[in-house]
């Protein structure tokens, strides 16, 4: 080959290589997923805001089944209402999604000439969604038996749970609900409402409410049922504390005891935690809602329970729809709008004085499904904490 032609070919190749080198170098320097996501989160946490608060954060890649990011993930922090995730996941695991809350109306004796010559019993199952329509149905059930007069007495059966009216570690100056097995419209006014409605249609010989246990010989005349999933939706979407406490007691009752306590339910929460490979003695649990100042959990614990739920189809497919959706509904309805996180993040919020938390699921830009937990303690301005949570979620969904 002619020498000049060879020299020209070498020159062209050399120029092309020179032109390509910057491009190759740029590609090599461009961080790939998940390194780019991890770097963004690291940069975000390098903020003076976190010099005055404690934060625990963990992001877990459910698709790859590995930890994606963690910082302070083992710190023991107050979860606020993300505690409801522990309660809800345990309930679905222990009770199953088809479980129903029940409130029972029963009678003893016989009916003669429209007169019930016996007693009436109302047995509570700690159903927070029992309402006025349900009460009307109870009275209608008695009238449907031809009863227009009751010669016996009216009893309330409260043996479903203990006599504790409030949770351990609840602030005395909060507007707390009363934890009683017989509720109507979330109020401790069941028997007063029942008798008031009875008097409109049925004569009562004895107006005093007594406490007692439904006798074995009693005949059930009406049962009101509400599904666990309907209760869980209200509990999660609206962060309803009463609904969460009632669910913890349902978990407790699954062991077959009467007059169960919150600690009975929390023992079963601990059992679940131990079963997934964490040490339940590391943490402290006081209630089912997160209202208590005695609760101490970690971001790692919440993430590992979310992972457990994901791998249990009967839990995940019923838990996921109950979680608030960013920019769409529940306690996340006004957050992360017009961002990559809107409609993507399904997560439980948590708010207490000094605490802001968020834990749930989202899908990364590459299609991987993630679960995450963010617990921020020492918060003086909720708006600042929520801004960081929102930004973390936007990073998870867009990078």
- Stated pTM of the model: 0.91
What is the DSSP track for 276-313?
A: TT--GGGSB---SSS--TT-BB-HHHHHHHHHHHHT-H
Q: Within 13 Å and on the Cβ side, how many CA atoms surround 139?
A: 21
- pLDDT digit string (tens) for the chain, length 399 residues: 555 444 444 444 443 443 344 444 344 566 799 999 999 999 999 988 888 999 999 999 999 999 999 999 999 999 999 999 999 999 999 999 999 999 999 999 999 999 999 999 999 999 999 999 999 999 999 999 999 999 999 999 999 999 999 999 999 888 899 999 999 999 999 999 999 999 999 999 998 999 999 999 999 999 999 999 999 999 999 999 999 999 999 999 999 999 999 999 999 999 999 999 999 999 999 999 999 999 999 999 999 999 999 999 999 999 999 999 999 999 999 999 999 999 999 999 999 999 999 999 999 999 999 999 999 999 999 999 999 999 999 999 998
Both structure tokens of 241:
């504390």
Give the torsion sign (CA, 77, 82, 87, 91). negative
């Amino acid at each position: 080959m002619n020498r000049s032609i060879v020299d020209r070919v070498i020159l062209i190749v050399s120029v092309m290589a020179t032109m390509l080198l910057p491009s190759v170098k740029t590609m090599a320097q461009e961080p790939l997923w998940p390194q780019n996501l991890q770097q963004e989160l690291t940069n975000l946490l390098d903020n003076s805001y976190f010099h005055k608060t404690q934060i625990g954060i963990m992001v877990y890649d459910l698709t790859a089944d590995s930890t994606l990011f963690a910082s302070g993930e083992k710190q023991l922090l107050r979860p606020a209402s993300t505690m409801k995730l522990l309660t809800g996941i345990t309930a679905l695991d222990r009770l199953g999604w088809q479980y129903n809350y029940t409130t029972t109306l029963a009678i003893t004796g016989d009916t003669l000439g429209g007169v019930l010559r016996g007693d009436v019993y109302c047995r509570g199952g700690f159903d927070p969604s029992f309402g006025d329509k349900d009460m009307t149905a109870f009275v209608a059930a008695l009238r449907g038996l031809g009863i227009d007069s009751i010669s016996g007495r009216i009893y309330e059966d409260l043996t479903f749970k203990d006599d504790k009216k409030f949770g351990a570690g609840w602030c005395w100056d909060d507007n707390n609900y009363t934890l009683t097995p017989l509720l109507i419209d979330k109020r401790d006014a069941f028997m007063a409402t029942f008798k008031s409605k009875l008097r409109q249609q049925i004569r009562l010989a004895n107006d005093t409410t007594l406490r007692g246990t439904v006798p074995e010989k009693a005949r059930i005349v009406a049962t009101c049922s509400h599904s666990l999933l309907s209760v869980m939706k209200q509990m999660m979407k609206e962060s309803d504390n009463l609904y969460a406490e009632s669910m913890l007691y349902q978990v407790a009752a699954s062991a077959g005891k009467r007059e169960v306590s919150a600690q009975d339910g929390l023992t079963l929460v601990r059992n679940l935690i131990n079963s997934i490979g964490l040490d339940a003695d590391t943490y402290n649990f006081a209630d089912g809602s997160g209202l208590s100042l005695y609760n101490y959990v970690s971001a790692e614990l919440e993430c590992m329970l979310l992972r457990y739920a994901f791998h249990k189809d009967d839990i995940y497919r019923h838990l996921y729809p109950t979680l608030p959706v960013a920019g769409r509904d529940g306690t996340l309805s006004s957050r992360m709008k017009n961002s990559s996180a809107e409609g993507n993040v399904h997560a439980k919020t948590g708010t207490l004085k000094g605490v802001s938390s968020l834990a749930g699921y989202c899908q990364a830009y590459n299609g991987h499904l993630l679960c995450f937990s963010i617990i921020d303690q020492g918060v003086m301005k909720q708006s600042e904490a929520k801004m960081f949570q929102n930004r973390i979620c936007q990073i998870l969904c867009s990078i």
